[in-house]
Copies of this chain bind each other. A is one copy, B any other.
Amino acid sequence: MIDRSDALALDAADPLARWRDEFVIPDPDLIYLDGNSLGRTPKRTVEALHRVIDEWSGDLITSWWEHDWLHLALTVGDELAPLLGAGPGEVAVHESTTVGIFQQVNVALDLVPGRRVIAIDDADFPTDRYAVEGIARLRGGEIRHGLDDLAGVDVVLRSLVDYRTAEVADLVGETARASDAGATTVWDLSHAAGVLELNLPDAGVELAVGCTYKFLNGGPGAPAFVYVSRSIQHEVTQPIWGWFAQSDQFAMERPFDPRSGIGRMLNGTPPVLGLTAAREGIRVTVEAGITAVAAKARLITGFCIDLADEFGLATDTPRDPARRGGHVAVRHPDARHLHEALVDHNVVVDYRDPDVLRFGLSPLTTSFADVFDAMSALARLVDRA
């Protein structure tokens, strides 16, 4: 029997517990388990946004140089890079995740002349599937549904962490399997970044994309990141050409001549407010240490699965800690109503049509007691139903 004192003991032993104080938490009684959809607000983000508003109003146009807004998309990328095991000059942060996916799949197609077949799993996240459909229409490409047989496939787009079950794909093995079939994989790390310890170069990953508003706590609609391995940057052509990718940006009379590094992935003027918030969210995770964050993610999702078992709740989140991300999926035919009923108990989780409740256990802001209380509330509701 797990009881609440077990949760409190785990919290007492949690080396990351103090990081919760780094976040703005107006209602300490709210159990918020949806940081996998929108992470909480770091206190330093509030300060940074105040500072950037002062820069804008006070220093105006000169802020692009004085406060280095001009390079912000790459500076923030460099700060995020260690979370991916990447080096400086391999990551840029800008635009939406959908635009990033669009860029990266086109980059992958253009790596080899004549490429046109893109494979994606029908169960992958909608925006990934839509982006691929749109690219196939635009370029006269072909979509292969499913990833079991990669013969004849040129590009694979896939999420590392399944947005429903939290199952983690085999990054090394699957990158190699695609490569052996002659395909380049674009990894969508949206549900992985900031909760898994990654080493993209060691895994042989050449292209990746992800969002910063989930476990990275970057703010609502925060800009996405794109990763391009240094080893292929010289041969990369992305499709959306704009002045922030130009090698000598303010020499305005020349044809497009892309910058030599990751800067060629940029498009237009970067979103300074959004980037400022994303930067602080990223910094919190970098400072807390991704090794510790990932360790807590494994522990707290395991605790959640143990509680599901004890309360007789069904979950298809993997039991192998190495095979799951930062959330736990509970399946129940009444999931929609349970989601609403939990709100009345001051518990916010995520609901995905038709029968999934996602418990997002953001390691820096979620306590084991939160998990115990939320799962207990759900168990009582299910018994009552």
- Interface 0/1 of A46-76, CB less than 8 Å to B: 1001001110111011111000010000000
List B contacts of A130 (CB < 8 A).
241-243, 245-246, 256
List B contacts of A222 (CB < 8 A).
271, 273
The reply to whether A272 and B221 contact each other, CB–CB distance below 8 Å, is yes
Q: Which one of A8-16, A194-202, A247-255 is at the B interface?
A: A247-255
Identical copies in the complex: 2
The reply to whether B243 and A127 contact each other, CB–CB distance below 8 Å, is yes
* Contacting residue for A127 out of B98, B106, B242, CB 8 A: B242
A69, A251, A255: most-surrounded residue (chain B CB, <10 A): A255
- Interface 0/1 of A171-197, CB less than 8 Å to B: 000000000000000000000000000
The reply to whether A240 and B40 contact each other, CB–CB distance below 8 Å, is no
The reply to whether B49 and A61 contact each other, CB–CB distance below 8 Å, is no
User: Is A129 an interface residue when CB atoms closer than 8 A count as contact?
Assistant: yes
List B contacts of A251 (CB < 8 A).
353
The reply to whether A269 and B221 contact each other, CB–CB distance below 8 Å, is yes
User: Is A223 an interface residue when CB atoms closer than 8 A count as contact?
Assistant: yes
Query: Number of contacting residues on A, CB 8 A?
Result: 84
The reply to whether A133 and B220 contact each other, CB–CB distance below 8 Å, is no
The reply to whether A98 and B268 contact each other, CB–CB distance below 8 Å, is yes
A125, A126, A273: most-surrounded residue (chain B CB, <10 A): A273
The reply to whether A242 and B98 contact each other, CB–CB distance below 8 Å, is yes
A130, A133, A239, A275: most-surrounded residue (chain B CB, <10 A): A130
Known: A243-B127, A256-B129. A219 touches B56 (CB 8 A): yes
User: Is A213 an interface residue when CB atoms closer than 8 A count as contact?
Assistant: yes
For A257, give the chain B residue with the smallest CB separation: B130
User: Is A99 an interface residue when CB atoms closer than 8 A count as contact?
Assistant: yes
The reply to whether B61 and A37 contact each other, CB–CB distance below 8 Å, is yes
Q: How far is the CA of A172 from the CA of B251 in the complex (A)?
A: 32
- Interface 0/1 of A79-113, CB less than 8 Å to B: 00000000000000011111101100010000000
The reply to whether A129 and B99 contact each other, CB–CB distance below 8 Å, is no
Give A210 Cβ to nearest chain B Cβ, in Å.
12
A97, A98, A268: most-surrounded residue (chain B CB, <10 A): A268
* Contacting residue for A219 out of B34, B45, B272, CB 8 A: B272
The reply to whether A98 and B239 contact each other, CB–CB distance below 8 Å, is no
29 contacts between A and B (CB under 8 A): A23-B57, A24-B57, A34-B61, A38-B61, A45-B53, A46-B53, A46-B57, A56-B219, A64-B220, A95-B99, A97-B269, A98-B241, A98-B244, A98-B268, A99-B240, A99-B267, A102-B239, A126-B246, A127-B242, A130-B241, A133-B241, A133-B255, A134-B241, A135-B239, A213-B269, A221-B269, A221-B275, A251-B353, A273-B274
